Structure formats: structure tokens, C-alpha cells
């Protein structure tokens, strides 16, 4: 089973009157956690350019806060879920998945499949709360949006199939780029906008800046395991803290658990870190990360080598990419020792190979004719301006499965061959019989 988080956004065009080429109405169907953090960058830019952005979110959303100070409008729909219930479900899926994905996925197929079924049920319930809410649907229809920006990791549709919903996407915005990804064929309605959320570092809070500056020539190490994982076991925390205590760098660790007793004086714990600002700080030497796409792209943007401790979903795959590109060392959270972490940190900090590769990826990332965020916004605006992007739509969407695999053509050709063979055999048999009869007659004569 290929356990791969789909890192996609799909843009679906709605039929709607669109008066000026500059300003449109955007409906957003987001998902939770890092996906929301990523898509919000696009929404803020759309707002900046004068578009009206409405986010459809449930009353039980974990990270999407309708009361945030923003020009984004929120259309909050009631749901039978409550926030705690959703949060507990996500945490249990992640803990389970993290445990299972370290070992062979084949071995744990039923357990991982169960997680997917539960996630699928959660999505379906949320989706039903929208599409069966007549009042809400009426209101949305009357709003005459120009485009829907939907996160494909949480698909939902007006009663339909997944394949039909996917086929309606005018443009797919992919959360990677060729600095991170390996070259492979793609269709022209795909654009790779990985790193769209990255920006130059802003100044750090005063206390943090002082701590960072106190590192001197050794610099600092930044350590987080993402927006979803806040805790690790006490034992693991002790092991990690003792490794961190042995390096000459200062360490900023995002950690929400009990302070490990092995914590060195060079390490500080924070409940939250300004990750991008830290990765862009000139003193930063390495980044210890779970390998989420957002963090990896901030590291690429700022040219920081990685120590990867992948947990679940696309994270093992992401770290494998960065390892192949020569910008990361990978560790297994279940089997790694204090020495492993220490050696990994020493390697990426002291061996110039890793820094050079990180800087090469950074150079590639920065050398694009149009920035990823501008390309993402360009395509959303293009869909609004032209009421779709039909010229990029592959004909395969309009084929049946037997047409797609050319089975109709192959079938026809095989039928032709069969008919010709049949006719030839019949002719041969007929001629043979004729000759045979004539031969008999002659003999009789």
C-alpha cells in the first residue's frame, strides 16, 4: 500500500457572471493543520489583490479560526462533530500511523487501512453536513462564486463520485517544485508551486534573538516536529535532549511536554517557534524536522541542511527526497540512539557537502521566472478571467475506461484479424474439399 499524502490543491471553475478581469469571488474548501497554513498564504494574497475570499468551515474546525483578524469571510456550517472529538481523532490517527509506518506497511496493512477508512468517514460526515444543508447550499449558490479553491486531500461534491469531482479541476496546484521533486512527466494543467508560503526572515522576538546571538560562531539548531505532533514519550525526549546537550550549537526546540532532565544548558524549549524567521537567520546551521512539506520548503528557501525524523504520511518520502539530493541525513525515531542523533547533527553541520547541496537547492528555488505564490494566484485569476482553462484539459477525462486503454481499437483490430483468419481458413477448406472431390471423381473415372 502506497501511503502518500496527496499534496495537491485543485481549482474548480464555477459558471458565474464575472464583470471585471481584476476582482472575483473565491470560495475555499480547506482542510486542517499544515494544509490550512499553506493555503492561507494564497488567500491572503488574493485578498491583497482585491478579491473576495469566503472560507467554508465547520463549527468544529481545529485550526481554522473564523474570528481571526483578517479580511477573509468565513461561512461556518453546523456539524454533528465537536472540536475536541476531531482533534482526538486526528491525534489518534497520527499516533497510530506514526507507529505503523516505521515498520513494513505490508505488515500493518489492515491497521493503516482502518485509519484511512476512519478519515474517509470523517470527511464524508463533514461533506454531508454541507451538501445536505439546503439553506447553506442555497446561500452559496446565490453568492455566485467565480471559482472554488479546494484542497484535494479532503474531497467533497453536490451527490457525485470522487473521480467526477477530480475531473472537474481546471488546474492542479502541486505543493512541490523541481528543487525537491524528481523530474517526471506531467500534464499542462499542473503547476508546481512548492514553497509558495516562503518569505524572507523577519526579526526574532528580543529574548530569542539574544539567545541566538549568544551561540557565537557555532550558531544554532532549530528543532520542531510540525503542527500536529506536540508530544513524544518522556524516554524519547530524554534521549534527544542528551544528544542535543553534546553539540556546541545552541538549540531551539519546539516541545510541549515535561522538561527532560537531560536537557543541556544550550537547549531551550518553546511551545511555538517562528520557524521561517529562525531558518532564515544567518546563525542557523541545521534543522531537525519531521519532514512536512512546509518546513522542508522553508529549509530549501533559506538553504539549511536537514536532520530528518519522519513520522507518517508523506514525511518518510519527503526526507528520502532530501537525502537523495544530498541535503539531509535521515533517522528512524523508533530505533535511533542519542549517538545517532549526535552524529547526524555533526555530519550535516560540519561536512560542507550538505550545506553546499542545500544552497544549490536554494539557488534553484530562487531562480524562477515567476515566484510560486504569484503563479498560484495567476492560475486562480486565469480561471476566473477565462471561466476555466478548457484548453489545458486532457481528452482522457472524456474517455471511458476501455477507450482510455484503447481496448475498443485493440478489440476492433483483433476482430478484423479474426474475421480475415476465419475467411482464409474457410476458403482453404472449401478449395481443399473441391480439389479432394475432383481427385476422387478423376480416380473413379
Residues that bind a second copy (CB under 8 A): 178-179, 182-189, 192, 363-364, 367, 369-370, 374-375, 378, 382, 385-386, 391-395
Strand-pairing partners, residue 121, are none
The partner residues of 247 in beta bridges, in order of sequence, read none
Between 323 and 385, CB nearer to a second copy: 385
Task: Using the minimum distance from each CB to a second copy, give the nearer residue, 92 or 324.
Answer: 324
Q: How far is the CB of 368 from a second copy (least distance, A)?
A: 9
Least separation, in Å, of the C-beta of 278 and a second copy? 26
Q: Are 315 and 7 in contact (CB under 8 A)?
A: no
**CB nearer to a second copy: pick between 184 and 442:** 184
Nearest approach in angstroms of CB 312 to a second copy is 27
CB of 259 to a second copy, least distance (A): 42
Cβ 183 to a second copy shortest distance, Å: 5
- CA–CA gap between residue 26 and residue 112 (Å, rounded): 35
- To a second copy, the closest distance from the beta carbon of 308 in angstroms equals 20
| Shortest CB 251 distance to a second copy, Å | 31
The angle at the Cα of 88, spanning 82 to 89, to the nearest 5 degrees, equals: 90
The residue (of 260 and 388) whose beta carbon lies closer to a second copy is 388
Which among 285, 353, 283 is positioned nearest to 323, based on CA atoms?
Answer: 353
Nearer to a second copy, 241 or 306 (CB): 306
Least distance to a second copy, CB of residue 365, Å: 10
User: Which residue number, 22 or 434, has a Cβ lying nearer to a second copy?
Assistant: 22
The smaller minimum CB distance to a second copy, of residues 90 and 378, is found at 378
47 in Cβ contact with 53 (< 8 Å): yes
Strands (E), 197-282: 220-224, 250-254, 267-270
According to DSSP, residue 201 is labeled P
Tell me the β-bridge partners of 190.
172
∠ CA 61-64-68, nearest 5°, is 130
- Residue 64: which of 45, 52, 77 has the closest Cα? 77
Cα–Cα distances (Å) from 31 to 64, 121, 146, 191, 305, in that order, read: 9, 15, 20, 20, 29
Across the beta sheet with 267-270, what order do the strands follow?
Answer: 267-270, 250-254, 220-224, 284-289, 306-308, 328-330
Residue 117 CA to residue 122 CA, distance in Å, equals 9
Alpha carbon distance 293, 176 (integer Å) = 8
Shortest Å distance, C-beta 135 to a second copy: 38
Q: Which is nearer to a second copy, 183 or 200 (CB)?
A: 183
Nearer to a second copy, 110 or 185 (CB): 185
- Backbone angles phi and psi of 236, in degrees to 5: -60, -45
Q: How far apart are CA 116 and CA 97, in angstroms?
A: 10
Amino acid at each position: 500500500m502506497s501511503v502518500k499524502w496527496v499534496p495537491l490543491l485543485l481549482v474548480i471553475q464555477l459558471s458565474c457572471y464575472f464583470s471585471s478581469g481584476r476582482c472575483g469571488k473565491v470560495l475555499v474548501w480547506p482542510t486542517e493543520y499544515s494544509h490550512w497554513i499553506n493555503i492561507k498564504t494564497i488567500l491572503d494574497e488574493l485578498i491583497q489583490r482585491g478579491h473576495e475570499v469566503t472560507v467554508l468551515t465547520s463549527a468544529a474546525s481545529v485550526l481554522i479560526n473564523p474570528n481571526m483578524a483578517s479580511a477573509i469571510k468565513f461561512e461556518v456550517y453546523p456539524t454533528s462533530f465537536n472540536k475536541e472529538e476531531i482533534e482526538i481523532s486526528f491525534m489518534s490517527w497520527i499516533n497510530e500511523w506514526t507507529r505503523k509506518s516505521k515498520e513494513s506497511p505490508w505488515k500493518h496493512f489492515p491497521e493503516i487501512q482502518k485509519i484511512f477508512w476512519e478519515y474517509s468517514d470523517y470527511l464524508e460526515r463533514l461533506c454531508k453536513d454541507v451538501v445536505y444543508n439546503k439553506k447553506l447550499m442555497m446561500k452559496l449558490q446565490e453568492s455566485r462564486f467565480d471559482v472554488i479553491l479546494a484542497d484535494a486531500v479532503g474531497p467533497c461534491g453536490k451527490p457525485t463520485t470522487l473521480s467526477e469531482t477530480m475531473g472537474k479541476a481546471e488546474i492542479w496546484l502541486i505543493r512541490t517544485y523541481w528543487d525537491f521533486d524528481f523530474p517526471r512527466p506531467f500534464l499542462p494543467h499542473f503547476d508546481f508551486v512548492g514553497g509558495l508560503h516562503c518569505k524572507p526572515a523577519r526579526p526574532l522576538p528580543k529574548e530569542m534573538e539574544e539567545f541566538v546571538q549568544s551561540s557565537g560562531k557555532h550558531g544554532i539548531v532549530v528543532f520542531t516536529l510540525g503542527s500536529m505532533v506536540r508530544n513524544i514519550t518522556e524516554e524519547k525526549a530524554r534521549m534527544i535532549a542528551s544528544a542535543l546537550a553534546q553539540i556546541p550549537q545552541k538549540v531551539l526546540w519546539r516541545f510541549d511536554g515535561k522538561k527532560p532532565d537531560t536537557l543541556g544548558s544550550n537547549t531551550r524549549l518553546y511551545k511555538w517557534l517562528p520557524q521561517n524567521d529562525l531558518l532564515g537567520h544567518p546563525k542557523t546551521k541545521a534543522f531537525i524536522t519531521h519532514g512536512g512539506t512546509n518546513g522542508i520548503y522553508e529549509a530549501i528557501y533559506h538553504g539549511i541542511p536537514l536532520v530528518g525524523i519522519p513520522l507518517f504520511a508523506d514525511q518518510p518520502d519527503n526526507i528520502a527526497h532530501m537525502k537523495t539530493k544530498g541535503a539531509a541525513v535521515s533517522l528512524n525515531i523508533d530505533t535511533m540512539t542519542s549517538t545517532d542523533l549526535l552524529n547526524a547533527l555533526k555530519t550535516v553541520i560540519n561536512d560542507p557537502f550538505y550545506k553546499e547541496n542545500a544552497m544549490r537547492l536554494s539557488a534553484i528555488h530562487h531562480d524562477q521566472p515567476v515566484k510560486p505564490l504569484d503563479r498560484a494566484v495567476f492560475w486562480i485569476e486565469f480561471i476566473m478571467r477565462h471561466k476555466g482553462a478548457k484548453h489545458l484539459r486532457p481528452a482522457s477525462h472524456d474517455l471511458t475506461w476501455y477507450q482510455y486503454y484503447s481496448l475498443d481499437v485493440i478489440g476492433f483490430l483483433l476482430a478484423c484479424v479474426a474475421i480475415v483468419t476465419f475467411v482464409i481458413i474457410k476458403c482453404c477448406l472449401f478449395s481443399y474439399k473441391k480439389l479432394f472431390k475432383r481427385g476422387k471423381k478423376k480416380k473413379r473415372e
